[in-house]
């Protein structure tokens, strides 16, 4: 469709998109622009009750079996970074989307979009990383596809993965189940993946020794559900960071969320990098962390279970769901003040000075 | 880097706050000049913790906010040209010009790149000799020296396809302009520490004496701000008006000689327009005659600029400390970070953005369906009693 043929007045709810007649990078940033694109353009175009739930993965019922189904695409630069690669991400990201539904990933699909000219050893390294990550996560890559685009039309390698898994009986993880009084737990230190990527990005090397936290969270979720099958909601705070996940849950549940900023585990290297760049760690991406809203009576047991798991050793209670300010996330600052923690608009931009 | 933790210590903050509360006997209005300080104040809730008598007025020290619309429109025009690679710091890309921003130019096919140093732009120029590479050189005394050094390098290395779109501004003339305003309420200044780390403090004693205002050189962490306020209030209560360096770990009185020499070599002082304020005499820098070839405004014939400021935007008054962001009728309704009318709402250091991002709950500008009756402090009380915390 050409620009002139585009008639946005015919869209179901075009208003929020009208001021952006073209796609900008922020539409993929995991913030407000991304949400608007999905809610006001894709969801109305596709229709369907399952998609309308807008979860990280879709909860389906097929032949009496409850399934979680999810897909994600990976366009990270550079392809290899401290602590992982695009291959690890492509497996762990989709496995984690399924895990946030309580499902253990069983099978993945894998779609490669390769750019003409990419060196074959690079493709092999990525594929080997994917295989190793899949084995570690206990998931099988069952089907795939490969396309090649002309040189200059891609960043070397893009990967899409989709995954499917079974949701155990009695597990019902949805933001709508959050109630005031629920305790908010984060599984460990935040911001590692985003800072690891920034630390090696062209033009931004700042000598920080930070490894991405990229990891599959299925085992950690299993440990949590064993002691508390009635968990209310889980999210992996990837793009948009912890702030985006908390805002999505607050908005979908209609409860307020209060966090204590001083209790959010932020590694010194992440805090320092963010201070230099003018970024807020709450908005920096993670790839191996989850945030859980847990009924208060189960919080101690869940916390103990998490801390007994290698990926949850630094699990910490950071806040709770509240009656007040429904849909809004508020932080108590370390000094005793308060502030709103808003959904990011697009990508965070390093400040000028 | 241990400084960051140390300068956010809640126990030390409490002691400073106690001292300020004990010192204050009557109302005082202080201006923090820098937008970075404004964000620290709002983000950490410092203004909520100060005595009611101490009012913090937000100053014009946001480089993105004060860059004139005309310059942004010129940037948009230059960036749209097919032979140009336009390089900028990230936070300029979302600043609205007349009708669009640099992100939009990029989505329309313009080659707009985010860089983290002007030297990156110079490298891009070396790697793309068939393109004109333009760096958007805005900011205060903090960003001017590296930009000056980059132009110096471009001349030295004879890189003919590099140029600088310059809109640099200087803080002391802005302080002078604020103090000369008939509606000025400012009784003391928290001067921007990073500006002073470059320039030193030599420009301030005369200002402090002439206008009888204390000027305290202040850093950017919460304890820096509290110490700056404490020293300013102490002077005001005693009737003093001197320059006090509360940021000695970064600021030497003489400044940074190498940076000053570079500024002297490449730039010359000029009158400069500030967005929302107007022209302030001697408040800017432009490239000196020797470097005029590297001036993008000279290199590109930018015509047809027709700037239109939104009539509803009152960011000029905000920048002069005459209006608090939430006192603007458009705040949070017509004007949000999502659809900003002015740069003070979009800039990461803008006062309007700080209020919108961090203060909507208290200001009553949360969307109606989400407005809550309970104060945030009360809402957090159950957490304190939580058996699992």
Q: How many CB pairs under 8 A join A and B?
A: 178
Helix (H) / strand (E) element for B32: namely: strand B28-34
* Cα gap B91→A201, rounded to integer Å: 18
DSSP B101-165: -HHHHHHTT-EEEE-SSHHHHHHHHHH-TTSEEEEEEEESTTTHHHHHHHHHHHHHTT-TTEEEE
B81 touches chain A (CB under 8 A): no
E strands, B225-302, are 243-245, 267-274, 278-287
CA distance A132 to B284: 58
Q: Which of A181, A330, A339 sits opposite B43 (nearest CB)?
A: A339
User: Is-contact A103 A90, C-beta < 8 A?
Assistant: no
A191 Cα to chain B: minimum distance (Å): 17
Closest residue in B to A15 (Cα) is B339
B222's tokens:
């919460």
| Chain-chain contact of B45 with A258 (C-beta, under 8 angstroms) | no
Place of tokens 């803008």: B350
Do A157 and A118 form a contact (C-beta atoms < 8 A)? yes
Name residues whose C-beta falls within 8 Å of residue A264's C-beta, 6 or more positions apart in sequence.
A186, A190, A242, A281, A282, A316, A318
Give me A92's structure tokens.
């762990």
Q: Are A335 and B49 an interchain contact pair (Cβ–Cβ within 8 Å)? A: yes
Question: Is residue B389 pLDDT above 50, yes or no?
Answer: no
pLDDT at residue B377 in the model: 32
Q: How far apart are CA B366 and CA A327, in angstroms?
A: 10
Q: What is the spatial distance between Cα A161 and Cα A111, in angstroms, rounded to a whole number?
A: 6
Question: What is the DSSP code (8-state) at residue B83?
Answer: T
Asked if B360 reaches chain A (Cβ–Cβ under 8 Å), the answer is: yes
Q: Cβ distance B389 to A317 under 8 Å? A: yes
Q: Is the pLDDT of residue A52 over 90?
A: no
The pLDDT value recorded for residue A20 is 64
Is the Cβ–Cβ distance between A349 and B59 less than 8 Å?
no
Question: A326, B1: Cβ pair inside 8 Å?
Answer: no
3-state secondary structure (DSSP) of residue B231: helix
User: Is A353 in Cβ contact with B143 (below 8 Å)?
Assistant: yes
Contacts of A328 (CB under 8 A, 6+ apart): A250, A256, A257, A340, B360, B361, B366, B370, B372
For chain A, the residue count is 353
Residues of B in contact with A26 (CB under 8 A): 103
Q: Compare CB distances from B142 to A32, A323, A353 and report the shortest one's residue.
A: A353
pLDDT at B203: 95
Q: How many whole angstroms from its chain centre is CA A22? A: 25
In this model, does residue A96 exceed pLDDT 50? yes
Q: What pLDDT does A129 receive?
A: 97
Whether residue A22 and residue B372 make contact (CB cut-off 8 A), yes or no, is no
Quote the pLDDT of residue B388. 41
Query: Averaged over B270-284, what is the pLDDT?
Result: 90
The residue of chain A nearest to residue B17, with distances taken between CA atoms, is A335
Q: Which DSSP state fits B26?
A: S
Contact B163, B224 (CB under 8 A): no
User: pLDDT tens-digit profile of A287-339?
Assistant: 999 999 999 999 999 999 999 999 999 999 999 999 999 999 999 998 888 89
Task: Say what the pLDDT of residue A249 is.
Answer: 95
Q: Residue B354: what pLDDT?
A: 87
Q: Is the pLDDT of residue B95 over 90?
A: no
Give A186→chain B minimum CA distance, Å. Answer: 12
Which B residues, 133 through 192, put their C-beta within 8 Å of a C-beta on chain A? 138-140, 142-143
Contact B116 A262 (CB under 8 A): no
Task: Among A64-73, A196-205, B14-23, B166-175, name the one with the lowest average pLDDT.
Answer: A196-205
Q: What is the pLDDT of residues B291-315, one digit of tens each?
A: 999 999 999 988 777 788 788 888 8
Is the Cβ pair A351, B89 closer than 8 Å? yes
Q: What is the CA radius of gyration of chain A?
A: 20
Tell me the mean pLDDT in the region B103-111: 93
| Residues of A in Cβ contact (< 8 Å) with B49 | 335-337
Q: Do B90 and A256 touch (CB under 8 A)?
A: no
Residue B386 near chain A (CB below 8 Å): yes
Q: What percent of chain A has pLDDT over 70?
A: 90
Q: How far apart are CA B117 and CA B4, in angstroms?
A: 23
* Whole-number Å distance between alpha carbons of B51 and A297: 40
For residue A95, the distance in angstroms to the closest alpha carbon of chain B comes to 29
Residues of B in contact with A278 (CB under 8 A): 91, 348
Name A235's Cβ contacts closer than 8 Å, sequence gap at least 6.
A56, A100, A245, A248, A249, A290, A291
pLDDT > 80? residue A212: yes
Q: How far is residue A47's CA from residue A32's CA, in Å, rounded to a whole number?
A: 21
Residue B371 has pLDDT above 80, yes or no: no
Report the pLDDT value the prediction gives residue B367, as an integer from 0 to 100.
42
Determine whether the interchain pair A24/B107 forms a contact, defined as Cβ–Cβ distance below 8 Å: yes
pLDDT digits (tens, 9 = 90+) for A134-180: 999 999 999 999 999 999 998 899 999 999 999 999 999 999 999 99
Q: Is B311 on the interface with A (CB under 8 A)?
A: no
CA distances from A75 to A90, A196, A217, A235, B114 (A): 9, 16, 21, 21, 18
Burial class, B3, CB count within 10 angstroms (exposed 0-12 / middle 13-18 / buried 19+): middle
What is the pTM for the complete model shown? 0.81
For the ranges A58-62, A172-176, B231-235, B348-352, the lowest mean pLDDT is seen at B348-352
Using CB atoms, which residue from B138, B360, B388 is nearest to A317? B388
User: Which chain B residues are Cβ-neighbours of A334 within 8 angstroms?
Assistant: 8, 10, 44
Whether the predicted pLDDT of B210 surpasses 80: yes
Mean of pLDDT over chain B = 88
All residues at 6 or more sequence positions from B318 whose CB lies less than 8 Å from its CB, including other chains: B58, B276, B324, B325, B328, B344, B351, B352
Res A121: pLDDT: 96
**Chain A residue with minimum CA distance to B120:** A203
| pLDDT surpasses 50 at A14 | no
Residue B14's closest chain A neighbor by CA? Answer: A335
Between chains, do A350 and B90 touch, taking CB under 8 Å as contact? Answer: yes
Q: Cα separation of B296 and B293, whole Å?
A: 8
- Reply yes or no on whether the pLDDT at A124 is more than 50: yes
- Average pLDDT for residues B115-119, to the nearest whole number? 90
H or E segment at A44? Answer: helix A43-46
- Does residue A5 surpass a pLDDT of 70? no
**What was the pLDDT predicted at A276?**
78
Q: At a CB cut-off of 8 Å and minimum separation 6, what does A166 contact?
A: A65, A66, A67, A68, A103, A104, A106
Which residues in chain B are closer than 8 Å to A342, comparing Cβ atoms?
A: 357, 360
Whether the CB-CB separation of B23 and B283 falls below 8 Å is answered with no
Dihedral pair phi/psi, residue B119, rounded to 5°: -65, -30
Note whether B180 and B210 are within 8 A (CB): no
**Residue of A256, A275, A337 with shortest CB distance to B48:** A337
The answer to whether A327 and B370 are in contact (CB under 8 A) is yes
**Measured between CB atoms, which of B108, B339, B376 is closest to A330?**
B376
Chain B closest-CA separation from residue A204 CA (Å) = 7
Cross-chain residue pair A24–B103, CB shorter than 8 Å: yes
How many angstroms separate the Cα of B106 from the Cα of each of A211, A346, B79, B82, B281? 32, 15, 8, 11, 35
- pLDDT digits over B323-365, tens only? 899 999 999 888 888 778 888 887 767 889 888 888 877 776 5
Helix (H, G, I), strand (E, B) or coil at B204: helix
Whether the CB-CB separation of A264 and A186 falls below 8 Å is answered with yes
Q: Residue A55: is its pLDDT beyond 80?
A: no
Instruction: Check pLDDT > 80 for residue A38.
Output: yes
CA–CA distances in Å: residue A236 to residues A151, A216, A233, A240, B58: 34, 11, 10, 11, 37
CB contact at 8 A, A186 and A265? yes
Provide the token pair at A21. Answer: 């007649």
Determine which helix (DSSP H) or strand (DSSP E) holds B216, and give its type and residue range.
strand B215-218
Instruction: Tell me the helix, strand and coil percentages in chain A, rounded to 5.
Output: 35, 25, 40
* Cβ atoms of A317 and A185 closer than 8 Å: yes
Q: Is A22 close to B359, i.e. CB distance below 8 A?
A: no
Query: What pLDDT is recorded for position A18?
Result: 45
Report pLDDT for A199: 85
With cut-offs at 50, 70 and 90, classify the pLDDT of residue A37: confident
Euclidean distance between CA atoms B277 and B352, whole angstroms = 16
Question: Of the candidates B328, B321, B343, which has an alpha carbon nearest to the alpha carbon of residue B60?
Answer: B321
What's the pLDDT score for residue B301? 82
Parallel/antiparallel/unpaired status of strands B188-192 and B28-34: parallel
Nearest to A23 among B90, B107, B194 (CB): B107
Which residue of B lies nearest to A21 if distances are taken between CA atoms? B104
Look at B357 and A23 and tell me if their CB atoms are within 8 Å. Answer: no
Give the nearest partner residue to B64 out of A22, A335, A352, using CB atoms.
Answer: A352
Question: Does the pLDDT at position A268 exceed 80?
Answer: yes
Judge: A335–B13 Cβ closer than 8 Å, yes or no.
yes
Beta strands in chain A (DSSP E): 58-62, 65-74, 80-81, 84-85, 104-115, 140-149, 157-166, 183-186, 233-235, 256-260, 291-294, 316-322, 329-332, 338-340
Mutate to test the interface with B, among A264, A283, A339 (most CBs of B within 10 A): A339
d(CA B88, CA B135): 6
Gap from B316 CA to chain A (nearest CA, Å): 20
Distance, in Å, from the CA atom of A23 to the CA atom of A11, rounded to the nearest integer, reads 16
Tokens of A242: 């912890």
B338: contact with A, CB 8 A cutoff = yes
> And the tokens for A211?
């490894």
Q: Which position has the token pair 């399934």?
A: A67
B220 touches chain A (CB under 8 A): no
Q: Per the CB < 8 Å rule, is A337 touching B339?
A: no
In sequence order, what are the residues at sequence separation of 6 or more whose Cβ sits closer than 8 angstroms to the Cβ of residue B62?
Answer: B34, B35, B38, B319, B343, B344, B347, B349, B350, B351
Range of lowest pLDDT (A21-30, A235-244, B319-328): A21-30
């Amino acid at each position: 469709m050409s620009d002139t043929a585009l008639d946005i007045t015919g869209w179901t709810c075009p208003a929020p998109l009208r001021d952006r007649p073209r796609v900008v990078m922020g539409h993929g940033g995991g913030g407000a622009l991304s949400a608007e694109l999905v809610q006001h353009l894709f969801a109305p175009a596709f229709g369907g009750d399952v998609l309308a739930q807008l979860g990280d993965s879709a909860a389906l019922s097929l032949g009496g079996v409850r399934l979680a189904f999810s897909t994600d695409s990976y366009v990270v630069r550079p392809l290899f970074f401290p602590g992982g690669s695009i291959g690890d991400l492509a497996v762990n990201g989709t496995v984690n989307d399924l895990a946030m539904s309580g499902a253990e990933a069983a099978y993945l699909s894998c779609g490669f979009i390769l750019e003409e000219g990419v060196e074959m050893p690079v493709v092999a390294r990525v594929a080997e990383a994917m295989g190793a990550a899949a084995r570690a996560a206990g998931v099988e890559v069952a089907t795939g596809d490969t396309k090649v685009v002309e040189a200059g039309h891609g960043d070397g390698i893009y990967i899409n993965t989709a995954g499917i898994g079974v949701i155990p009986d009695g597990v019902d993880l949805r933001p709508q189940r959050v109630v005031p009084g629920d305790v908010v737990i984060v599984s460990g230190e935040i911001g590692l993946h985003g800072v690891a990527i920034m630390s090696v990005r062209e033009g931004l090397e700042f000598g920080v020794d930070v490894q991405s936290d990229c990891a599959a969270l299925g085992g950690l979720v299993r440990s949590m559900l064993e002691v508390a099958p009635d968990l209310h909601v889980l999210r992996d705070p990837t793009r948009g960071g912890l702030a985006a996940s908390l805002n999505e849950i607050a908005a979908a549940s209609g409860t307020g969320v209060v966090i204590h900023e001083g209790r959010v585990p932020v590694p010194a290297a992440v805090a320092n990098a963010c201070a230099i760049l003018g970024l807020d760690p709450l908005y920096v991406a993670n790839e191996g962390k989850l945030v859980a809203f847990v009924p208060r009576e189960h919080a101690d047991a869940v916390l103990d279970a998490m801390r007994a798991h290698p990926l949850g050793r630094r699990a910490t209670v950071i806040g709770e769901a509240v009656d007040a300010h429904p849909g809004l996330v508020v932080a108590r600052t370390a000094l005793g003040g308060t502030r709103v923690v808003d959904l990011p608009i697009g990508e965070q931009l390093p400040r000028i000075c | 880097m241990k400084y960051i933790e140390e300068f956010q210590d809640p126990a030390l903050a409490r002691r400073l706050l106690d001292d300020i509360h004990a010192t204050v006997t009557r109302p005082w209005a202080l201006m923090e000049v820098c937008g970075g300080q404004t964000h620290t104040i709002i983000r950490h809730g410092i203004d909520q913790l100060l005595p009611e008598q101490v009012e913090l007025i937000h100053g014009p020290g946001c480089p993105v906010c004060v860059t004139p619309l005309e310059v942004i429109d010129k940037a948009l025009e230059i960036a749209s040209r097919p032979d140009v690679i336009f390089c900028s710091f990230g936070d300029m890309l979302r600043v609205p010009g007349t009708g669009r921003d640099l992100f939009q130019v990029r989505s329309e096919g313009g080659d707009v790149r985010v860089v983290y140093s002007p030297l990156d732009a110079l490298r891009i120029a070396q790697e793309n000799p068939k393109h004109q590479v333009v760096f958007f050189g805005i900011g205060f005394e903090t960003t001017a020296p590296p930009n000056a050094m980059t132009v110096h390098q471009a001349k030295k290395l004879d890189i003919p396809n590099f140029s600088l779109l310059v809109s640099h501004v200087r803080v002391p003339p802005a302080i002078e302009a604020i103090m000369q305003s008939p509606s000025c309420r400012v009784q003391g200044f928290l001067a921007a520490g990073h500006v002073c780390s470059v320039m030193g403090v030599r420009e301030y004693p005369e200002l402090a004496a002439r206008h009888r205002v204390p000027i305290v050189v202040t850093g950017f962490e919460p304890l820096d701000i509290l110490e700056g306020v404490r020293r300013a209030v102490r002077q005001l209560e005693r009737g003093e008006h001197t320059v006090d360096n509360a940021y000695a770990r970064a600021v030497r009185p003489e400044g940074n000689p190498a940076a000053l020499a570079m500024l002297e070599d490449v730039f010359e002082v000029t009158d400069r327009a500030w967005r929302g304020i107007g022209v302030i005499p001697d408040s800017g820098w432009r490239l000196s005659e020797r470097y005029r070839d590297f001036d993008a405004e000279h290199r590109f014939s930018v015509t047809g600029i027709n700037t239109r400021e939104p009539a509803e935007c009152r960011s000029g008054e905000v920048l002069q400390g005459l209006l608090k962001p939430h006192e603007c009728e458009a705040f949070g309704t017509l004007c949000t970070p999502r659809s900003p009318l002015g740069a003070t709402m979009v800039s990461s250091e803008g006062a309007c953005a700080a209020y919108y991002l961090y203060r909507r709950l208290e200001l009553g500008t949360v969307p109606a369906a989400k407005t809550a009756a309970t104060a945030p402090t009360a809402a957090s009380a159950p957490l304190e009693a939580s058996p699992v915390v």
